[in-house]
Amino acid sequence: MSEKNDSNPNETELDAEHWLQAYEQMVKIRTFEETANELYTSARMPGITHLYIGEEAIAVGVCEALRQDDYITSTHRGHGHCLAKGADLDRMFAELLGKEAGYCRGKGGSMHIADQETGNLGANGIVGGSSGIATGAGMSIRLRGTDQVSVCFFGDGALGQGLLYESMNMAQLWKLPVIYVCENNQYGEYTHNSKAAAGSMIGRATGFGVHAQAIDGQDIRTVHATARLVIERARKGGGPAFLVCNTYRFHGHHVGDIDRPYRTREEEAEWAKRDPLILLENWLLKSKQAEKQVLERIQQEVKTAVDDAVAFAEEASFPSESEVDRHVYA
């Protein structure tokens, strides 16, 4: 099931400089994830990880419409959200490698990166598990009387979780500034959403009276324009919104899911034509907002930064044994 997109790519207020910044963020996520995959396949990274490749336009499109003091909650497929909200490459890689210099001192790993300074309330290993937290952050914003906004990222798999509906119901009852961003990448683990989600996706929100839209999640211009409108609406007290961003997980469910027997190579090839990075590149070039050399320079700079960050992470120390029972209690 892909909800029909109901928003056109609007012209947004971003100027060329900001579009290049968004492009750099997307390249950063793509390169980070490709490198994480290499670290896994070369046995330099413990555990597994879930790659965000193919979905970059959503995290960057939404986060570029947020302020640093706005909140996000993320998912097990969370590297993109963390980076888009402003996390540093070196501490991200250090966390993936279980090092003390990581965002969580090596205690969280890939699925639990949190960074208070950039408003990241944490990636989450429980599907749909952060919808209550994002909504509680919205409640906190209301009670503290600030004009922040809270964004809850989740995948279409979370549409099966009741907590999401309890949360959206309360957000609408109390007009909380929470944006529910459903990254509909078509699969919950290995199961297509046509076998998991009955009826309409946006209908799940409109039933509560929550403003809902299905949009093209591959086109950052669409994502950003839509996100900006609902975020500013929420900031002014207009209440929550629900965005279904239609997208595709270019890799498997996790780095070890390489055969992908549950879907066809033809389907993957169709979606690859709509790679969000290529779409943005093409638009930047066609609209003459950037020269090819500028984009190539950005790619190179990001590659260098990622390589440096991996070197930092690999050289960093593992936590000492005394760290294991620290931070159980505050």
Partner 1 sequence: MSTLENGAISSPAIHAPGERQITFGQAILEAISEEMARDESVFVIGEDVAAAGSVFKVLVGLLDEFGPERVIDSPISEAGIAGIGVGAAITGMRPIVDIMFGDFTTLVMDQLVNQAAKTHYMSGGKLTVPMVLRTTLGASRRSAAQHSQSLHALFSHIPGLKVALPATPYDAKGLMKSAIRDDNPVVVFEDKMLYQEKGPVPEEEYTLPLGQADVKRTGEDITIIATSSMVYVGLEAAEKLASIGISAELIDPRTTNPLDSDTLIQSAQKTSRALVLDEGYRQYGVTGEIASVIADGAFYYLDAPVKRIGAMNVPVPFSPAMEDLTIPDADYVVETAKTLCG
Contacts to partner 1 by CB under 8 A? 71, 73, 102-108, 112, 114-116, 121-122, 124-126, 129-141, 143-144, 150, 162-163, 166-167, 169-170, 173, 326-330
CB of 124 to partner 1, least distance (A): 8
CB of 174 to partner 1, least distance (A): 8
Distance, in Å, from the CA atom of 254 to the CA atom of 41, rounded to the nearest integer, reads 12
Partners of 120 in the beta sheet?
Answer: 72, 115
**What is the rounded radius of gyration, in angstroms, for the C-alpha atoms of the chain?**
19
- How many other β-carbons are positioned within 10 Å of the β-carbon of residue 14? 19
- How many other β-carbons are positioned within 10 Å of the β-carbon of residue 22? 24
H/E stretch holding 162 reads: helix 162-173
Q: Which is nearer to partner 1, 125 or 238 (CB)?
A: 125
Q: Which is nearer to partner 1, 154 or 248 (CB)?
A: 154
CB of 71 to partner 1, least distance (A): 7
CB of 95 to partner 1, least distance (A): 9
Residue 264: what residue type? Answer: T
What is the strand order of the sheet 150-155 is part of? 71-73, 150-155, 178-184, 241-246, 211-216
Q: Which is nearer to partner 1, 171 or 280 (CB)?
A: 171
Residue 189's alpha-carbon distances to 50, 183, 195, 320, in angstroms, are 10, 13, 12, 35
Q: Which is nearer to partner 1, 61 or 122 (CB)?
A: 122
CB of 277 to partner 1, least distance (A): 31
Q: Which is nearer to partner 1, 195 or 326 (CB)?
A: 326
Q: Which is nearer to partner 1, 144 or 286 (CB)?
A: 144
Q: Which is nearer to partner 1, 167 or 213 (CB)?
A: 167
Q: Which residues contact 213 (CB under 8 A, 6 or more apart)?
A: 6, 7, 202, 226, 230, 241, 242, 243, 244
Q: Which residues contact 289 (CB under 8 A, 6 or more apart)?
A: 16, 19, 20, 283
Q: Which is nearer to partner 1, 71 or 248 (CB)?
A: 71
Cβ–Cβ < 8 Å for 216, 188: no
CB of 158 to partner 1, least distance (A): 13
CB of 129 to partner 1, least distance (A): 6
CB of 300 to partner 1, least distance (A): 32
Q: Which one-letter DSSP state was computed for residue 202?
A: T
CB of 210 to partner 1, least distance (A): 14
φ/ψ of residue 320, rounded to 5: -75, 165
Structure tokens at 262: 């549950």
Q: Which residue is listed with tokens 């260098």?
A: 304
**Residue 163 CB-density burial (10 A; 0-12 exposed, 13-18 middle, 19+ buried):** middle
47: phi > 0 → left, psi -120 to 50 → alpha, else beta; which?
left
Q: Which is nearer to partner 1, 134 or 290 (CB)?
A: 134
